[in-house]
Amino acid sequence: NAGVMQNPRHLVRRRGQEARLRCSPMKGHSHVYWYRQLPEEGLKFMVYLQKENIIDESGMPKERFSAEFPKEGPSILRIQQVVRGDSAAYFCASSPSGKNGYTFGSGTRLTVV
Amino acid sequence: KQEVTQIPAALSVPEGENLVLNCSFTDSAIYNLQWFRQDPGKGLTSLLLIQSSQREQTSGRLNASLDKSSGRSTLYIAASQPGDSATYLCAVMNRDDKIIFGKGTRLHILP
């Protein structure tokens, strides 16, 4: 079991481009969470998904951000028309069910130049 | 709205000392509480998970306690080592399945 896999580890985008962050949960895990960590700040909840469903997206900006967790393949966090303020570390976590603890990936560090 | 607070924000102690990190949360209706470690520029490593029905969990030199009624948890580290230097994060899972993190305690163990 390879754990939660996130790729890419580092991503550089110019302002206005799109960023696509991928998260493959642990085998058997159907719950996925995305978090954002800004420099010197804590982790902020963005979105909670189960297979093919968005359960809670209350932490995600209404514009430019979207997330999906299709029946097949990884969960994708998509940021359109990136701005400098989107530069952060984005972490994904997975769980077999929400109450059994979570395993985090190593994160994707997005830099917008 | 659940809020998680960790104190102190930063801590430096000489190697070999025992230490306690504190975490408090405002809504006691939680499923569980989890302590994580984060090294600079790295991901999160789970240290201990305490279910709401449990009082404590132990792993090696680490012991975490949970007092749900008072909204408090502590992480006890025995015989600290330089390799323990990291940021320690406390996270609670609410009944709505959302995980809320504290801002962490930056721990520095002095050789």
> Tens digit of pLDDT for each residue in A37-47?
987 778 999 99
- Pairwise CB contact (< 8 Å): B98 & A107: no
In A19-58, the residues whose Cβ lies within 8 Å of chain B are 31, 33, 35, 41-45, 48, 55-56
Beta bridge partners of A50: A31, A53
B99, A45: Cβ pair inside 8 Å?
yes
Of A35, A98, A2, A24, which Cα lies nearest the Cα of B34? Answer: A98
Q: Out of B51, B99, B102, name the one closest to residue A102 (CB).
A: B99
User: Can you read off the two tokens belonging to residue B47?
Assistant: 């240290």
Say how far apart CA B80 and CA A25 lie, in whole Å.
33
Distance between A109 CA and the closest CA of chain B, angstroms? 9
Chain A with chain B: Cβ pairs closer than 8 A = 55
Cβ–Cβ gap A102/B89 under 8 Å: no
Percent of all residues in chain A with a pLDDT value above 70, rounded to a whole number: 96
Q: What's the CA gap between A62 and A24, in Å, rounded? A: 24
What is the mean predicted confidence (pLDDT) over A6-15? 97
Average pLDDT, integer, range B41-58: 92
pLDDT of residue B66: 97
Average pLDDT over residues A2-15: 94
Query: Considering only alpha carbons, which residue of chain A is nearest residue B35?
Result: A101
Look-up of token digits 């406390």 = B90
Over 90: is that where the pLDDT of A28 sits?
Answer: no
Residue A16 confidence (pLDDT) above 60: yes
Residues of B in contact with A48 (CB under 8 A): 97-98
pLDDT exceeds cutoff 90 at B61: yes
* Residue A96 pLDDT grade (very low, low, confident, very high; cuts 50, 70, 90): confident
| Average predicted confidence (pLDDT) for chain B | 94
pLDDT at site A1: 53
Q: What percent of chain B has pLDDT over 90?
A: 86
pLDDT of residue A98: 63
pLDDT confidence band for A87 (50 / 70 / 90): very high
Q: Give the Å distances, CA to CA, from B99 to A38, A111, B28.
A: 17, 25, 13
User: Do B34 and A43 count as a contact with CB atoms less than 8 A apart?
Assistant: no
| Partner-chain residue, chosen from B41, B96, B103, that has the shortest CB–CB distance to A42 | B103
Mean pLDDT of chain A: 92
Chain A residues with CB under 8 Å of B103 CB are: 41-42
- Backbone phi, then psi, for B100, in 5-degree steps? -115, 130
The predicted model gives B18-28 an average pLDDT of: 96
The shortest C-alpha distance from A15 to chain B (Å) reads: 23
